[in-house]
Structure formats: structure tokens, C-alpha cells
Amino acid sequence: MTDSTTLTVERHVPADLPDRILHYIGGESVPSLDGDTFGVLDPVSNEVYVEAAAGKKADIERAVEAARTAFTEGPWPRMLPRERSRILHRIADVVESRDARLAELESFDTGLPITQALGQARRAAENFRFFADLIVAQADDTYKVPGRQINYVNRKPIGVAGLITPWNTPFMLESWKLGPALATGNTVVLKPAEFTPLSASLWPEIFEEAGLPAGVFNLVNGMGEDAGDALVKHPDVPLISFTGESSTGQLIFGNAAPYLKGLSMELGGKSPAVVFADADIEAAVDATIFGVFSLNGERCTAGSRILVQRDVYDEFVERYATQAKRVRVGLPHDPATEVGALVHPEHFEKVMSYVELGKSEGRLVAGGGRPAGHETGNFVEPTVFADVAPDARIFQEEIFGPVVAITPFDTDEEALALANNTKYGLAAYIWTNDLKRAHNFSQSVEAGMVWLNSNNVRDLRTPFGGVKASGLGHEGGYRSIDFYTDQQSVHITLGKVHNPTFGREATDH
Ligand code: NAD
């Protein structure tokens, strides 16, 4: 029996896959106007399993027109927050009721382990619930100038929001933008990542079942440089919320500049996990293993640089490497799998090139190639390099796979300098039992988000986003509401206010 035959037997292909993936515009599923399609691969066989509509400028124009009409003429922006909230809760209910199917499709399309894909499906439902609750609790400011004025904020949806998302946790990241954009009364055009369009094709049915009016949600599949670019350059799309690579973010920033669009950008990362000698080493090993190998290492907030104080360095590296070798690489649908298959052969090649590079830049202590028994498909062993110098490319560049660099340090100052020594600034994880050090370090580290003695456990109310090359603006909780709304000031005169008369008629004296 050949390897590929073995794989075909073991590989799980979900039942009832769609026979094609279409756009969804103005409440209807439609092909591209020019009929163009692109092939979508599954990361275990790397074979095309479906053709998806390849959107171009004309398809984006059609979608924006539908969204614009729903915004100017439809009920959605004018509904009471409670009415919109009810629909958002229903969306969450429907997502929850289909979490197993969603996870199955997501895991098949992305290669994420099924248990982790299930967690992402539930988080997607929670994103809708969270913004459904927030929008009814929303209060806006009023300012009194005694006897003269009362001034209030009239918060309004902005219009058609363009949402552009990556492939690493597609459905969850789409919900992260759809929740607040819709809760605040905007209409949207979503452009999902071309590697992973499958789970997004479930949104139309979910929204229809929950009672979202037609035209409020529109979906255009396609390449970033075609469909994504046309969305960024469409004059009737005043907002772009983008998650993806920093270099794509820079390009979009430039392309949106002539239109002075509102931009929110969640970009790449190379986040440090800093382990001091006084830390709970066992907990730190568990968390830093999970932090870089969960979601196949395709995680923006991955702690992909581990900085360890020299006193515990050798012990840490040994424990870490031993445990990393036990992390289970396997078929994505197997509930025992901890690391599945990387999303796409192009990405696999990129990650493998860093694995090879790492062999000359660091000391390989675990992994280093394809796992035995997985001769095809995008499988990579959890790979650990120790003694990595701070100017190494594997220390500086985002690999976005199950690959980690470990580097020793002696003093707090050195740890901080190493932590801040990349262009990125998304997350940081600090492990220490010293209270003063923990807070001083957290406040000095150049990262949008810091976790102390903890993994990446989110509180949805807190700001989410990065500094430096990791992002522009923060979303999360009320920051998302602010991004998707205009806060218009209305000033009301109650008494005597400043009102000089220019051009006063001359009077005789
Ligand atoms: P990517 O930048 O290649 O693509 C992201 C999206 O942008 C895709 O939908 C793509 O089609 C589109 N796109 C590409 N070129 C475009 C253009 N010229 N105009 C408009 N749209 C365009 O990113 P990716 O490879 O899909 O995702 C991985 C990256 O995303 C990593 O760098 C990761 O760190 C980052 N990420 C960041 C966060 C965060 O919250 N900070 C979360 C998840 C992923």
C-alpha cells in the first residue's frame, strides 16, 4: 500500500461538501460576473476539493451597491439596538447549534486540529453575544454647561464596512469583525482569505435563519490583489478592518490613503515569552508549549521567542524540548491531535525554509522536519531551537508555524532589551513571582497586550491590538464600537451663548 493510499483511507472528508463556493450579494448566492473561479485545497491531500468564485472589481462594485442600498434604504441602521441585539443573539444561537459542523469544515479546510476548531466556533458565537449585549448597554456622553448649553454625542453607524480577513482562524476572525460592525448598524462586504473560503460559505444561511435583512451582509471571495484591492479602493466603503500580514497592511494603508478611510489593522507578531528564574517553571513550560504550538503555530499572538533567565536556562530547555517532542502531530480531524497540517503547501514551504535556516542559526533540540508517518500533506514537527542570537532571522521574523526560538538572558534590563528587539509589538507573556518586576516589566515592554503568568486568555472587554509593526488602532469591547461608529457632537443652546454681531448697523452718536 502506498503512502497516498494510506492517507486517502485515513483522511476525513466531511459529508455534503458544497459543489462550488459562490459570492453572496444582496441576499443571493451568485458566481463571479466573469465566471472566473479558483481551486481550494485541503491541507492533508493538497488536492483541489472545490472551486470558489474569484471576485474582481465588478463583483465588489455589485456587493458594495447592495450594502449601500441596505444602509441608505433598509431597516438595519434604523432599528432599535434591542432589535438588532435580538438578531445577533439568534446568530450566536445558530452558530452554537452548528458548532460541530463548523469545526468539521474549518478543520478540513485549514488543517487546524478539530478540538481547537471547535473552540474557535464557540468563540465566534460568543463574539456575537458579546456585541449583542454591549449595544443595548451602550451609553453616550452628554456635557452640560450650566445655564448655557447641553451637548450630546449622537453615535451613528458609518456606512459600508469592508472586512478583510486571514486564513489562520477564518470563521472566528470573521465573527470578530462582523459582530461589532453589524451590532452598530453598518452594512458589510466581507472578503475572506482565499486559502480558506469554506467556513465563510456558512454565513449566508446562518444570517438568513437569524433574520438579518438582505443586503446587510455581503460576501465576495477571491484573491487579495483583485477582490481585496477593489474593496480597499472603493469610494463608497469608508471603513476597512483588516487582519493579516504587516506587509499587506502597509500596502492597504497606502491604497486607502487617497480616500482617507478609517482603518483598523491587526497585523503580524513575534511575541516574547519571558521566563524569570523565580517563575513556576512547570506552568511556564506548559503555557509556552501551548502558546506556540496551538493552532499549528499559525497564531498572531504566538509566543514564538522564549527568553529564559540563565539560572534556569538549561533545565528549561531540556524540559521544553522533551515535552515538545511529545506534542502529538496528527490528522486534523483526530480528537487526539495537538498539531495538525499547515494551511497550504506555499505556507508549508515557507515554514520549512525557516526550519532549515534555524539549523544554522540555533541549536536544534526538538523536531526539525516532517514527522514520521506523514510523508505527504503539510505536516511539520514541533520544532525548537535553543541558543538563538537576537539578530538571527528566526528570532526576528514571523514564521507563523510550529517553530520556536529560545534565548538566554541574565538581567531584567537585558530581558527587556531582547523582548523589545523586533519590529513587532503584539503580545508579551511574562513569567515571574516577583510583583514589582512583573508590573515594571509589563509596563515597559513594547506590546499591545501582556499576560502575566498566563497563557493568552482573553477578556473580550479589553483592548485588542498591537503596537509598532503589529497593528494600527485597537479593537475589542468599546474600542470596536468606536471604530464602527461616528460620534457626532450636537450642541444645544439653553441660554445666553457667545453670539457676537459682525456687520452691525451703524448707529448715530
Ligand atoms: P495576508 O496579509 O496574506 O492576507 C490577509 C487578507 O488580505 C486575505 O484575505 C488576502 O486575500 C487579503 N489581501 C492580500 N493582499 C491584499 C491587497 N493588496 N489588498 C487587499 N486585501 C489583500 O495574511 P494571511 O497570510 O492570510 O494571514 C497571516 C497573517 O495574519 C500573519 O502575519 C498573522 O500574524 C496575521 N494575523 C494577525 C492577527 C492579529 O489580530 N494581529 C490575527 C490573525 C492573523
Q: Is the CB of 128 under 6 A from ligand 1?
A: no
Please work out, in degrees rounded to the nearest 5, the angle formed at the alpha carbon of residue 14 by the alpha carbons of 8 and 15. 110
**Residue of the CA atom closest to atom 20 of ligand 1:** 228
Q: Is the CB of 301 under 6 A from ligand 1?
A: no
> Among residues 266, 361, 381, 475, which one is catalytic?
266
CA distance 275 to 288: 9
How many C-alpha atoms does 460 have within 13 Å on its Cβ side?
19
Single-letter amino acid, residue 207:
F
CA distance 223 to 250: 17
Q: How far is the CA of 189 from the centre of ligand 1 (A)?
A: 16
Owner of C-alpha cell 468564485? 53
pLDDT < 50 regions, the chain: 1-9
Q: Residue 508 has what pLDDT?
A: 64
Instruction: Note the residue count of the chain.
Output: 509
Q: Is the CB of 300 under 6 A from ligand 1?
A: yes
479 in Cβ contact with 148 (< 8 Å): no
**Does domain 20-266+477-490 match CATH 3.40.605.10?**
yes
CA distance 300 to 326: 24
Q: Is 368 helix (H, G, I), strand (E, B) or coil?
A: coil
CATH 3.40.309.10 location in the chain: 272-452
Domain 272-452 sits in CATH at 3.40.309.10
Q: Is the CB of 448 under 6 A from ligand 1?
A: no
Q: Residue 507 has what pLDDT?
A: 77
Grid cell of 209 as nine digits = 435563519
- Rounded to two decimals, the pTM is 0.97
Q: Residue 181 has what pLDDT?
A: 98
CATH 3.40.605.10 location in the chain: 20-266+477-490
Q: Residue 463 has what pLDDT?
A: 97
CA distance 500 to 355: 72
Tell me if residue 266 is catalytic: yes
Q: Is the CB of 251 under 6 A from ligand 1?
A: yes
**Residue of the CA atom closest to atom 10 of ligand 1:** 224
Q: How far is the CA of 246 from the centre of ligand 1 (A)?
A: 8
CA distance 165 to 365: 35
By C-alpha distance, which of 425, 462, 472, 403 is closest to 272?
425
Of all atoms in ligand 1, which is nearest to the CA of residue 229?
A: 19
